[in-house]
């Protein structure tokens, strides 16, 4: 009777098919095969992996995109899934590019320890928040585009239209345009502009209602997912929702608050040279999460007495506004992480050093 061996899997994910590969614990390539991305295909892929031996882990690219369903399928069946980054361009040029090559590379990355990240579980309330925020974000973007189009049309509109509308605030402008009666002569430029402006104003109102509906839906979900998070100074439903999505349904996958800060691009990057010892802002990481931390920091700098005292003290010490923001965002990331993983009851002191 053949003794069962331990193996590792690798998957290169795509829209219609996933390319899977199997290696043993010394890195030998055993087999590779493609499977459809259907639920049946995911089960067939798992059965195929198990037919080669005991599966230690499966390395996978794109667990947050094409591989989301397969990652969920494997995790629900207690198979360890490891997030694998795309190989750098130099390594890819050296080893070539094909689906089997990428699948074997994913498995090898797990074996070597180069890949060790735990993907988001995507099976809880945070995943629901993420889905609703996608709609809200697109509605906000479309509404901004719509008001910009309205303003641009007013600039080039005939004089009697432009002069009547150019000085109105956004709310008064939208109300005026939706109640207007532009006429029906489409060959008249003035009439055509009025019709276009009324349609854009109605679109703006519809998008505003859509955003309000999303906010009403998101508020209780965010409060349920992290009840103490929204109680922090400067943290609202929007920023809390983004930070929850960044951490995922399983924030314990982040080993420490430093890992969360790095994920949010709030961990300082050393930029020292010679006798100069300094750090610079991190331009990588999750930019949406970094923006959320930035907005919280700006709110606290304006309204929170404790933060204002800190800013005044660090400014007197010679720090620039960018450096102060970097320190504040690092502190806020530490505070947010503790509320994502376990609520705290005592305030955290502001940092004294960079």
How much is the mean pLDDT over the chain?
Answer: 88
Average pLDDT for 306-324: 92
Confidence tier at 255 by pLDDT (50, 70, 90):
confident
What pLDDT digit, counting tens, does each position of 122-168 carry?
888 999 999 999 999 999 999 999 999 999 999 988 888 888 888 89
Average pLDDT for 63-71: 91
Q: How many CB atoms lie within 10 A of CB 313?
A: 13
Class of the CATH-defined domain 6-112: alpha beta
Q: Quick one: pLDDT at residue 64? A: 87
Given its phi and psi angles, is residue 27 left (phi above 0), alpha (psi -120 to 50 degrees) or beta?
A: left
**With 90 as the cut, is the pLDDT of residue 301 above it?**
yes
Confidence tier at 347 by pLDDT (50, 70, 90):
very low
CA distances from 287 to 105, 220, 301 (A): 28, 25, 21
**With 70 as the cut, is the pLDDT of residue 94 above it?**
no
3-state helix, strand, coil in the chain (%, to 5): 55, 10, 30
CA 102 to CA 197: how far, in whole Å?
A: 52
What pLDDT digit, counting tens, does each position of 15-47 carry?
999 999 999 999 999 999 999 999 999 999 999
CA 263 to CA 334: how far, in whole Å?
A: 12
Sequential DSSP letters for 114-143: S--BPPP---SHHHHHHHHHHHHHHHHHHH
CA 155 to CA 174: how far, in whole Å?
A: 16
Average pLDDT for 303-311: 94
Give the lowest-confidence range in 80-89, 120-129, 329-338.
80-89
Confidence tier at 344 by pLDDT (50, 70, 90):
very low
């Amino acid at each position: 009777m053949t003794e069962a061996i331990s193996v590792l899997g690798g998957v290169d994910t795509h829209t219609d098919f996933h390319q899977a590969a199997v290696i043993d614990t010394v890195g030998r390539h055993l087999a590779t095969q493609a499977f459809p991305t259907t639920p049946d295909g995911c089960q067939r892929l798992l059965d195929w992996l198990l037919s080669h031996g005991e599966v230690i882990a499966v390395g996978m690219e794109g667990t947050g995109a094409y591989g989301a369903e397969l990652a969920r399928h494997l995790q629900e069946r207690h198979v360890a899934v490891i997030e694998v980054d795309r190989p750098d361009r130099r390594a890819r040029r050296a080893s070539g590019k094909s689906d089997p090559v990428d699948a074997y590379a994913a498995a090898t990355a797990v074996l070597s320890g180069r890949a060790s990240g735990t993907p988001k579980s995507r099976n809880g309330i945070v995943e629901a928040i993420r889905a609703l925020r996608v709609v809200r974000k697109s509605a906000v973007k479309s509404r901004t585009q719509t008001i910009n189009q309205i303003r641009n049309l007013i600039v080039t509109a005939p004089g009697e239209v432009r002069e009547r509308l150019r000085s109105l605030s956004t709310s008064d402008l939208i109300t005026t345009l939706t109640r207007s009666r532009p006429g029906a002569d489409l060959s008249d430029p003035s009439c055509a502009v009025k019709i276009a402006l009324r349609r854009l104003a109605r679109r703006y109102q519809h998008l505003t209602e859509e955003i309000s509906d999303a906010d009403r839906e998101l508020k209780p979900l965010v409060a349920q997912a992290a009840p103490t998070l929204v109680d922090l100074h400067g943290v609202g439903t929007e920023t809390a929702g983004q930070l929850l999505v960044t951490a995922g349904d399983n924030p314990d996958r982040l080993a420490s608050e430093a890992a969360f800060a790095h994920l949010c691009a709030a961990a300082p990057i050393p930029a020292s040279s010679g006798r100069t010892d300094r750090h610079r802002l991190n331009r990588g990481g999750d930019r949406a999460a970094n923006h959320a931390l930035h907005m919280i920091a700006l709110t606290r700098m304006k309204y929170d007495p404790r933060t204002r005292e800190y800013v005044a003290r660090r400014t007197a010490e010679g720090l620039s506004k960018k450096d102060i923001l970097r320190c504040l965002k690092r502190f806020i990331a530490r505070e947010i992480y503790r509320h994502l993983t376990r609520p705290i009851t005592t305030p955290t002191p502001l940092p004294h050093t960079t």
